[in-house]
């Protein structure tokens, strides 16, 4: 039995009312009973092109029928309480059914990016040892099924069950529903999801969140029951990013369940298709990266054709002028910061009225400060200096440490990472620097972690450096971000070569492909140097390399 929170934590959050021990699948079942004929979910319009399956739209009762068939199959295959299912699907109805069916079978789901290859999946499987791997047959010319079979043959996957997307689609339509399908063996303290996050280490970290963790978000989203809730019953919610991490689960899937909404799926991101979905499906709430918001505003595409009530921006700091322009159009802008570990700050009109300040700052729940938006009354955050001392003065900058009913208890099967990330008082130290604006607000300042943010994908530089050093021509390597207007950052590799050798970017990319590394992690800029600048302890001086990148980038 995997229960990661200690008894005292569980008792406290339950007694205070923040956790109600209602699982996500039970919340979904309540929606089925309440709104059986409401449209629950809509496939991407280009589904046929990316999966060879037909686009569908299902009511709540139709979706639940599919979920029960999928869960029956999982149970017959030995997937039950505490078992983990690894899933590599695009944003289609089948992925959402996988979430719900895994929970219906009392198991744990761990979704991963479509871009991941054998290199990343081996690391994942060494940590969670999944009992089943659901995988897309092929995607953009890559044979995912062959990769899965190879991994299984190499004993990298402890799975006797590999299920393709096309097989899963048929299973959920035709498999016989078990007589005991309504029996359940989980409660709110059981793990619902294991997402994957990057830090300074080379290995990805497994971030587990329980049903109670996710259920806590009802205080943010449910306007009918909780002061400061931002969504109404039946909202039409669009997901434009891969349904594998906090952005899509916490700002898409979970609020959809909480408010019994309609979920509009999109994949891969295409601004034209997504805009048409916003119009055609009458989307009322979604999350976009700031670059897309800027583009749509400049093209005049936020107009009367849209029914958006709330628009969240995340993954990068939004330009304040976009908040002002959206508000003029009757759309309430939201500023979001969060991590897979169960951290989240949401600047809404309910807590920061001034639009430009809302774009720059977040609520700072600390020292018993009371909020009209009750979501924040369960949290306690502190800003600390490198020695762990709390900072309290305006203008001071330090690392944000976070404690709330939303936050995970620790990394899954990775105690070495848990020890590094939590302080002695149980605060999760986020690795992000924030600046104190005033007594009630803080603003994002910079990342402490040595990672690259490429289009929302977090890339640990240590992982890429370790891979580069395996190349027979490379003696030493260091990796930093290269600024990019569209994606934010690209991977820039500084390398020291063996005497008498040379290398170009194509050779480096071929090497990464041979190592079965996800394409988004491949170096896109290459700088050959005589030596990597290092301090007396041997640590690469990334500040010097970043200055060099600024100099080189200015010439392009």
Mean pLDDT across the stretch 338-364?
94
- Mean pLDDT score across all residues of the chain: 92
In order of 23, 299, 323, 335, the CA distances from 313 in angstroms are 28, 18, 10, 5
Q: What is the 3-state secondary structure (H, E, C) of 326-342?
A: HHHCCCEEEEEEEECCC
The more confident residue out of 13 and 303 is 13
Is residue 289 within 8 A of residue 312, CB to CB? The reply is no
The more confident residue out of 556 and 214 is 214
User: Which tokens in the block code for residue 454?
Assistant: 């490429």
pTM of the model: 0.85
- The confidence score (pLDDT) of residue 121 equals 93
**pLDDT confidence of 450, banded at 50, 70, 90?**
confident
Task: Check pLDDT > 50 for residue 470.
Answer: yes
Q: Output the six-digit token pair for 513.
A: 């492909």
- CB-CB contact of 520 with 484 (8 Å): no
Encode pLDDT of 265-288 as tens digits. Answer: 999 989 899 999 999 999 999 999
Longest dimension (CA), the chain: 72
* pLDDT tens sequence across 119-147: 889 989 989 999 999 999 999 999 999 99
Q: What percent of the chain has pLDDT over 90?
A: 74
Q: Annotate 500-532 with b (16+ C-beta within 10 A) or e (fewer).
A: eeebeeeebbebbeebbbbebbbbbbbbeeeeb
pLDDT of the residue at 26: 98
Instruction: Return left, alpha or beta for 431; rule: phi > 0 is left, psi -120 to 50 is alpha, else beta.
Output: left
Strands 362-363 and 441-447 turn out to be antiparallel
Task: Tell me how far apart the alpha carbons of residues 418 and 400 are, in angstroms, rounded to a whole number.
Answer: 16
The pLDDT, as a whole number, for residue 538 is 58
DSSP string, 99-134: HHHHHHTT-EEEE--TT--HHHHHHHHHHH--SEEE
* 38-72 pLDDT, tens digit each: 999 999 999 999 999 999 999 999 999 999 999 99
pLDDT at 200 over 70: no
Q: Judge contact between 98 and 69, C-beta under 8 A.
A: no
CA-CA distance, 451 to 286, in Å (whole number)?
Answer: 26
pLDDT in tens, 503-556: 999 999 999 999 899 999 999 999 999 988 876 545 678 878 988 998 888 876
Residue 473 · residue 511 · CB < 8 Å: no
Cβ count near 462 (within 10 Å):
17
Q: Which residues face 339 on adjacent strands?
A: 343
Confidence band, pLDDT 50/70/90 cuts, at residue 465: confident
- Is residue 237 within 8 A of residue 201, CB to CB? The reply is no
Cβ neighbours of 491 (radius 10 Å): 21
Domains and CATH numbers, the chain: 452-553 (3.30.300.30)
H helices of 252-343, where? 254-258, 271-280, 290-298, 320-328
pLDDT in tens, 71-101: 999 999 999 999 999 999 999 999 999 999 9
């Amino acid at each position: 039995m995997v229960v990661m929170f200690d008894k005292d934590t569980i008792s406290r959050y339950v007694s205070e009312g923040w956790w109600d021990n209602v699982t996500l699948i039970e919340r979904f079942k309540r929606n089925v009973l309440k709104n059986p004929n409401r449209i629950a979910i809509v496939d991407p319009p280009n589904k046929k092109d990316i999966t060879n399956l037909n686009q569908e739209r299902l009511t709540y009762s139709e979706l639940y029928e599919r979920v029960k068939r999928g869960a029956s199959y999982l149970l017959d295959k030995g997937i039950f309480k505490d078992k983990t299912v690894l899933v590599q699907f695009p944003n289609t109805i089948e992925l959402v059914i996988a979430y719900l069916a895994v929970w219906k079978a009392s198991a744990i789901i761990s979704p991963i990016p479509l871009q991941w290859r054998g290199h990343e999946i081996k690391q994942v499987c060494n940590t969670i040892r999944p009992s089943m791997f659901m995988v897309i047959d092929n995607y953009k010319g890559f044979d995912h099924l062959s990769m899965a079979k190879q991994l299984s043959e190499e004993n990298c996957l402890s799975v006797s069950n590999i299920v393709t997307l096309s097989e899963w689609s048929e299973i959920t339509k035709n498999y016989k529903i078990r007589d005991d399908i309504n029996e359940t063996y989980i409660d709110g303290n059981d793990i619902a999801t294991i997402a994957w996050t990057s830090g300074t280490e080379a290995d990805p970290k497994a971030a587990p969140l329980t049903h109670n963790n996710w259920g806590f978000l009802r205080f943010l989203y449910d306007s009918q029951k909780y002061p400061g809730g931002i969504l109404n019953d039946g909202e039409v919610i669009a997901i434009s990013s891969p349904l594998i991490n906090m952005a899509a689960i916490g700002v898409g899937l979970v609020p959809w369940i909480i408010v019994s909404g309609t979920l509009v799926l999109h994949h891969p991101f295409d601004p034209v298709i997504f805009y048409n979905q916003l119009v055609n499906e009458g989307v009322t709430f979604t999350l976009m990266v700031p670059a897309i918001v800027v583009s749509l505003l400049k093209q005049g595409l936020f107009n009367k054709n849209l029914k958006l009530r709330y628009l969240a921006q995340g993954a990068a700091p939004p330009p304040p002028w976009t908040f002002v322009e959206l508000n003029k159009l009757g759309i309430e802008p939201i500023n979001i910061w969060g991590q897979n570990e169960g951290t989240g700050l949401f600047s809404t009109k309910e807590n920061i009225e001034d639009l430009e300040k809302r774009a720059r700052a977040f609520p700072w729940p600390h020292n018993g400060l009371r909020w009209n938006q009750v979501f924040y009354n369960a949290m306690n955050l502190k800003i600390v200096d490198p020695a762990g001392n709390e900072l309290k003065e305006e203008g001071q900058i330090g690392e944000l440490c976070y404690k709330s009913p939303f936050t995970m208890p620790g990394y899954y099967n990775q105690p070495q990472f848990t020890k590094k990330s939590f302080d002695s008082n149980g605060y999760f130290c986020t690795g992000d620097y924030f600046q104190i604006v005033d007594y009630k607000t803080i603003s994002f300042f910079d990342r402490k972690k040595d990672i690259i943010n490429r289009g929302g994908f977090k890339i640990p530089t240590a992982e890429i450096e370790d891979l580069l050093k395996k190349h027979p021509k490379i003696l030493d390597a260091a990796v930093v971000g290269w600024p990019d207007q569209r994606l934010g950052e690209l991977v820039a590799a500084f390398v020291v070569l063996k005497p008498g050798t040379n290398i170009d970017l194509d050779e480096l990319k071929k090497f990464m492909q041979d190592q079965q590394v996800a394409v988004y992690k491949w170096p896109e800029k290459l700088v050959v140097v005589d030596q990597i600048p290092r301090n007396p302890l041997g640590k690469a001086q990334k500040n010097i390399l970043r200055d060099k990148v600024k100099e080189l980038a200015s010439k392009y």
